[in-house]
Amino acid sequence: MKNLGLIIRREFLTRVRKPSFIILTLLAPILMAAVMFLPAYLATLPGDEKVITILDESYLMDIYDKGNEEISFKYLNPKDFDFETAKALVEGREDYAFVHVPVSEGGDPDFIARNIRVFRAGDLSLSVENYLERSLEKYIQKEKLKAEGVDPEIVARTKTQVNLRIINTEEGRETENATLAKMGIGYVAAFAIYLFIFIYGAQIMRGVIEEKTNRIMELMVSSIRPFELMMGKILGIGALALLQFVIWIGLGLLIFTIFTAVFIDPSLSSGTAVQMEGMNALPDNAAFDIYRSLQSIPFTKVLLSFLYYFFGGYLLYGALFAAIGSAVDKETDSQQFMLPLTIPLILSLIVILRALDNPDGSLAVWMSMIPLTSPLVMMARVPFDVPTWQLLLSMSILAITFFGSVWLAAKIYRVGILMYGKKPTFKELYRWTRYKN
Amino acid sequence: MIEARGIRKTYGSHQALKGLDLSIKEGSIFGLLGPNGAGKTTFIRILNQILAPDEGEVLIKGKALSGKHISRIGYLPEERGLYPKMKIGEQLLYLAQLKGLHKSQAKERIAYWLKRFELTDRVQTKVEELSKGLAQKVQFIASVIHEPELLILDEPFTGFDPVNTEHIKQEILRLREEGATIIFSTHRMESVEELCEDIVLINKGSRLLGGPLHEVKAQYKSGWYQVETEKEWQIPNGKNWQVEKLNAQLGGRAYRIHPEQNSRAELLESLLASGLIEFREEIPSLNEIFIQSTRNA
């Protein structure tokens, strides 16, 4: 056990001192912040205006409708231009697009709707298309209302928006619904586990391959048991992962605080802050709603489960990555063995999207029990308050499988580290597990 | 010191060792010889407890090989390797600690050995920045840093220039003087003749021959003598000896003679009559024994 400590220490220290680790650890939160803040920040700047010239021969649109911040409508007077001259004029300019609203003989709004055309040199951006469609639908609807003898003003006045307040009555408690926040937490937590398994699992594998190619393995196993060497590497790199994770969370919070305090114009802050959280379509009071509803999320449970699945998943996959590393001489040879590990991980990510929508569906429940997918899938479910028995069952299965995978990996590892040359097949790996020492 | 009895080891269908027996005297340099694939490395790995034998037992000082022996064994593997990104000092400290040395003790020994190999000013150098020869020295230090009772050297001289080979040879002899038992595995026979007292030659997983080096050589004597005399020499009457003429080196007449068994006295007598200048029995080199016996096997 003393040796295990020494190995963990070496694996941790040699990696933590690497410039690449320090740079990645410090830079990643800054980059992430940039990815999150930059669009929001840029949105506050006067952006590239997209000028759309409209020839509205039906006098359908309101010429005082100038579009939005992004899109600027400019109208041509149908008295001065016909379609051909207007199109020729627009083509000579650098307008984003040209819209032609034709005239209808009988004033049939549906005919107009079907025959509106947009001209653009290149592809039309999806947001512009949506905005144009919505605007035009509104005007056509107005025409139809007029035709039916309804004053559009009345319609506008009576328009109502309903925000449902959903109360979760499960287990005798009444809590505010926080589906969106739960989905966010579940997804971020599961994705973090996914990311760390991949990044650090690959590091374990690479470490083992390096020890093989540097031919130090034989010397090492003459001093310590292969199992200690393998576990030392997995745990040492695991400590590194935890450190990096803690630094990222810390730095992330720090950057977030500084950025909101310094760079965001206070007059914009309420609206923009919501955008920061990546939910830009919410109305202003949503931030408060979310805050209030967060109280319904079982944070302690989420945090403890996260730590458990983070490490459980890491150890389970880490041991298998170590076994793969031991079986090959070159990283390029590892591809075929990686496949059985990448498939469940990627499958988990896909299932999570369903699980977030329906956390108690049978797919989600089953996948949160199967050990190779449970770290991610169960983590996505936990914010939705999973029944305790399910959580405990899933955790127990994971623990048992973890020991199983370490046992299996150790058997492959023990043989693999001394094998050089030919790339083994799955069949050979199986045979190795049956070798006596 | 070491007693190995009936060691068998099989990988799948390949029998690496087929009931190997050998014994190694305490404080000796023991030559473990054999062609590639003979099973030397498998035996060494069994001693190092990297592998366990399928059958048979290894006793060290009368006790079955166990985990507590690990810290008393030093190993220089044939495949040399160190962590390239680690500094020499760190690397040796790590390996010494894994062999159970305390940090302070390990540091003292590292300082001592680096000085012996004139590497003191390189303590902060990374292994990857060293020349191959220097890295080999570091590797040698790593195998002896914990003052092992049993030192296993697998092809210790590969990668060393003649000067350093001599240096390492002296270190090996010094360690033997200090009481270490040394297993020397190689297929370079000339160094075996210089260093080893006892040898064993294994081939295809079993023992071909072994024992004290001089006895092994005696067994392989061909019975030929090389002589040079002042005058012409004749085969004594009635003898059916084989004779070849050789080029004289010392100005006389040179012969290669194979007398009948137990006729050495008669041979000498007849030679003395012809004015003997040089008389030498042809003793096969270990290399010849090696080639001959593995070919026959």
Domain ranges of chain A: 2-41+179-433, 50-157
Cα A59–Cα A61–Cα A66 angle in degrees, nearest 5: 135
Interface size, chain A vs chain B, as Cβ–Cβ contacts under 8 Å: 58
Q: How far is B268 from chain A (nearest CA, A)?
A: 55
Report how far apart, in Å, the C-alpha atoms of A116 and of each of A58, A101, A139 are. 11, 5, 12
Contact A222 B81 (CB under 8 A): no
Residue A301 makes CB contacts below 8 A (sequence gap 6+) with A382, A385, A391
Q: How far is B113 from chain A (nearest CA, A)?
A: 19
Contacts of B73 in chain A (CB under 8 A): 222
Question: Model confidence over B20-39: pLDDT tens digits?
Answer: 999 999 999 999 998 888 88
Selecting from B12, B50, B83 the residue whose C-beta is nearest the C-beta of A431 gives B12
The CATH architecture assigned to B2-213 reads 3-Layer(aba) Sandwich (3.40)
Superfamily holding A50-157: Periplasmic binding protein-like II (3.40.190.10)
How many other CB atoms are found less than 10 A from the CB of residue A57? 17
Contacts of B45 in chain A (CB under 8 A): 418
Interface of A with B (CB under 8 A): 3, 6-7, 10, 14, 211, 214-224, 418, 431, 435-437
Of the candidates B72, B34, B65, which has an alpha carbon nearest to the alpha carbon of residue B151?
B72
Contact A222 B82 (CB under 8 A): no
Report how far apart, in Å, the C-alpha atoms of A354 and of each of A205, A230, A342, B276 are. 31, 36, 19, 103
Best mutation target, B79, B136, B150, to test chain A (most A CBs within 10 A) = B79
Residue B89 makes CB contacts below 8 A (sequence gap 6+) with B110, B114, B123, B124
Q: How far is B217 from chain A (nearest CA, A)?
A: 34
How many other CB atoms are found less than 10 A from the CB of residue B120? 14
- From first to last of its 437 residues, what are the pLDDT tens digits of chain A? 688 999 999 999 999 998 989 998 888 888 877 887 777 777 666 657 788 999 988 888 888 888 887 888 989 888 888 888 888 888 888 888 899 998 887 778 888 888 899 998 888 888 888 999 999 998 888 888 888 888 888 888 888 888 777 676 665 555 556 777 788 888 888 998 998 999 999 999 999 999 988 888 888 988 888 889 999 999 999 999 999 988 988 888 888 787 777 765 554 444 444 444 444 444 455 555 555 666 667 788 888 999 999 999 999 999 999 999 998 888 888 888 888 889 999 999 999 888 888 888 888 899 999 999 999 999 989 888 788 899 999 999 999 998 999 888 888 888 888 877 777 888 888 878 877 65
Q: What is the pLDDT of residue A45?
A: 66
Q: Complex ipTM, two decimals?
A: 0.81
